[in-house]
Copies of this chain bind each other. A is one copy, B any other.
């Protein structure tokens, strides 16, 4: 069955770099917890639990005083390391008064957060996603939200046979689902590759590359557990003897649980063709968001089914194309077993998950107000 838990000892994309601007608070639920993000005067990103230790007011209802955040209720003030530096009406402050902060790593346009056991935070575990900013490539990027658990997207992205059926009018063609894949994996990654010879060029690629003939196409779906994917598509006319007309595309998908059953979806499509063509970028933004909305619609419908069956689960059939998705489950389940309770996850029953979803929605509304 689709897991509804997620590891905490892992890096997740918390925000795009562009979302953090000096002097503005960004409230956001991440991994079921309220987080407030901001950028200090020297440009460093900061993330802390969005909840005052005194009377639970979200700190994002407060205000920045320089690099420090002042609670909007009774004025407790916290420094970037989470330490409390002011309690109005009190002259002494115990060192133990602090809010939890989270390690952040910023690079290539993304801000990554570690919400698990702090000592385990190893920046080396962040997948290379340099295409977002690489020379010779152009990127179109967007952010979506899904009312369904993150693992549904993880599995969607590891079984691209769905392109034939869910996206036939854009990036899919009928043959894809029938062509076998090769699957490889290690402790933290799964790679699913499919090579297609002399297949139809799907409408989207004809539009953006100008290729309107039979193509050779390769898909490589790489999953970096628990929350990142790079989908590489290369295609060229099947008749070509060389790669001079080859088009390469790297689609990155950062799948960050907002709550156990809702998900932030940060995506970008980098391409090495038509790199100067803004019309292609604009069309890609529009078309890809449309494709991903189809994925989201499918996942949300499945989440409805799962929710209607809970606490049991409907029977599930596994078929050949599930090798990649099933491997992703195994990795995530092993990560969960390894980290145990040390990573700091709060137990949540279905009722609390529902309340957390409502809270997350209020946080997103607050973020929109603060952005305006």
Contact = CB atoms under 8 A, between A and B. Distances in A.
A87 B164 CA distance: 13
How often does this chain occur in the complex, in copies?
Answer: 3
A159 B74 contact: yes
Interface residues of A, number: 68
Contacts of A315: 53
B307 A61 contact: no
A305 B75 CA distance: 19
Contacts of A298: 57, 61, 72-73
A356 interface: yes
A316 interface: yes
A177 interface: yes
Nearest to A366: B301
Interface string A309-331: 11110111111110000000000
A304 interface: yes
Interface stretch (A233-241, A336-344, A347-355): A347-355
A162 B75 CA distance: 8
A305 B34 CA distance: 8
A330 to B, nearest CB: 17
A285 interface: no
A308 interface: yes
Nearest to A177: B88
A302 B89 contact: no
A203 interface: no
Nearest to A51: B305
A73 B351 contact: no
A71 interface: yes
B161 A74 contact: yes
Interface in A274-314: 297-298, 300-302, 304-312, 314
Interface in A22-64: 32, 34, 51, 53-58, 61-62
Contacts of A370: none
A177 B86 CA distance: 11
Most buried by B among A178, A179, A366: A178
A57 B358 contact: no
Interface string A148-167: 00000001000101101110
Question: What 8 A-B pairs have minimum CB-CB distances, sorted nearest first?
Answer: A88-B177, A307-B355, A304-B359, A308-B356, A75-B165, A53-B317, A56-B305, A56-B302
Given A54-B317, A72-B298, A301-B362, 19 more contacts: A34-B305, A51-B314, A54-B316, A54-B319, A56-B306, A61-B301, A70-B165, A72-B166, A76-B319, A88-B178, A89-B177, A89-B321, A90-B320, A304-B355, A310-B352, A310-B355, A311-B352, A312-B346, A350-B355
6 contacts: A56-B305, A57-B302, A61-B297, A72-B165, A308-B359, A350-B351
